[in-house]
């Protein structure tokens, strides 16, 4: 009886030892994600959350990070600087995350990212496209989202020969770093192409009525209307432009590239051109696998979802490049080694500036869907 008890105790001790070794063998890498789940950018945040959760699950299931398990802590930045700062402080000081994804808006990033830079916590921006002021914050800040310049400039160069426009008008949001940056890019791209800018008007995120601005611009008879806006404003602008009987081509940038824009604008969205960082129709195997993954989760992904997914992939690759080490400094060093990574966006690399490098595309809304312009 005493011998049997001794054997039982030895078995239990052995099991506990194995469990302890297993626990020690697996390293947890905590990623904080600050997303706009509420506020003006909520249409992007919900999509981003779905893809971050999917990517974390896929990476963990794949076993590519041997002995390392990713864990995402997702918080709402409420589309504001103040809340974004509070969320970053929590990630850095309380949750002790190894890296941060987000925040959704460039405006919030310019306020919150300096906290991460000061604390030496790597940040991977997934939707910050303001041409300046993001990666310039410091060497701990990177982004997988193409800037407005990387998207709008080549799209405009492709579109102008097709449509032959010579005069343009611009409407942009003047209270947001993203929309202001988009305006600067549009202005520079039009001027570089020798296209006359006949008029410029502005609006603010809370605005719902754009008739005065659109009427003023329509009276100048431009051949195309360029709009720098987030999806919610973009839908209202396009709808009201068509209600005014304005039939000229309309082109937007990254902010337009959301199913919410098409849903809210309805038939008015048809014909709108959008410079994009993601070609949903791409036959690339990695993109098709991504689409299948999201379909299984009943999610119809947009560009912001795809970029969020890639944000997780590049952090996982950084861990891998650092010899499966997931602390802040090793992830920072590993991000610099990400090159030609297969992602839904295409082959992805970081430029020396820690900005994204991959092929952009030009889309047009047709029959209620984004379709690639050949």
Fold match, 27-146+282-359 / 149-276: yes
Q: Which tokens hold the place of 107?
A: 């405006």
Q: Where are the domains of the chain?
A: 27-146+282-359, 149-276
Rounded to whole angstroms, how far apart are CA atoms 251 and 362? 10
Quick one: pLDDT band at residue 25, thresholds 50, 70, 90? low
The C-alpha angle 99, 101, 102, rounded to 5 degrees, equals 140
Q: What digits encode the pLDDT tens for the residues 64-122?
A: 998 999 999 999 999 999 999 999 999 999 999 999 999 999 999 999 999 999 999 99
CATH architecture of the domain 27-146+282-359 equals: 3-Layer(aba) Sandwich (3.40)
d(CA 289, CA 330): 29
Burial 102-125 (b: 16+ CB within 10 A, else e): bbbbbbbbbbbbbbbbeeebbbbb
Among 2-16, 230-244, 257-271, 335-349, which stretch is predicted with the lowest mean pLDDT?
A: 2-16
pLDDT tens for residues 354-370? Answer: 999 999 989 999 999 89
DSSP-derived 3-state class of residue 211: helix
Angle between helices 81-89 and 106-119 (to 10 degrees): 30
Phi, psi of 105 (to 5 degrees): -95, 145
What is the fold, at CATH topology level, of the domain defined by 149-276?
A: Rossmann fold (3.40.50)
């Amino acid at each position: 009886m005493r011998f049997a008890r001794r054997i039982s105790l030895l078995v239990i001790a052995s099991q506990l030892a194995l469990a302890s070794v297993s626990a020690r063998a697996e390293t947890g890498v905590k990623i904080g994600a600050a997303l706009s789940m509420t506020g003006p950018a909520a249409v992007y945040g919900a999509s981003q959350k779905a893809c971050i959760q999917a990517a974390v699950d896929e990476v963990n299931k794949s076993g590519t990070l041997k002995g390392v398990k990713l864990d995402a802590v997702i918080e709402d930045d409420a589309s504001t600087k103040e809340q974004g700062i509070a969320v970053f402080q929590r990630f850095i000081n309380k949750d002790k995350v190894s890296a941060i994804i987000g925040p959704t808006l460039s405006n919030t990033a310019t306020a919150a990212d300096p906290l991460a830079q000061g604390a030496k916590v790597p940040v991977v921006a997934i939707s910050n496209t303001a041409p300046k002021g993001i990666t310039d914050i410091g060497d701990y800040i990177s982004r997988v989202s193409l800037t407005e310049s990387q998207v709008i400039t080549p799209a405009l160069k492709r579109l102008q020969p097709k449509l032959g426009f010579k005069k343009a008008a611009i409407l942009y949001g003047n209270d947001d770093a993203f929309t202001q940056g988009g305006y600067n890019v549009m202005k520079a791209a039009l001027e570089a192409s020798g296209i006359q800018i006949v008029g410029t008007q502005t609006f603010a995120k809370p605005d719902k009525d754009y008739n005065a601005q659109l009427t003023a611009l329509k009276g100048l008879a431009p051949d195309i209307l360029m709009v720098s806006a987030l999806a919610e404003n973009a839908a209202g602008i396009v709808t009201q432009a068509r209600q005014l009987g304005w039939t000229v081509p309309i082109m937007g940038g990254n902010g337009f590239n959301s199913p919410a824009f098409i849903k809210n604008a309805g038939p008015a969205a048809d014909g709108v051109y959008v410079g994009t960082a993601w070609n949903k129709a791409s036959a690339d195997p990695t993109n098709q696998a991504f689409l299948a993954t999201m379909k299984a989760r009943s999610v119809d992904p947009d560009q912001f979802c795809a970029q969020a997914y890639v944000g997780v992939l590049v952090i996982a690759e950084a861990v891998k490049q650092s010899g499966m080490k997931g602390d802040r400094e090793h992830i920072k060093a590993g991000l610099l080694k990400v090159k030609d990574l297969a992602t839904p966006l295409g082959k992805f690399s970081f430029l020396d500036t820690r900005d994204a490098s991959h092929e952009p595309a030009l889309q047009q809304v047709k029959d209620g869907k984004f379709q690639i312009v050949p």
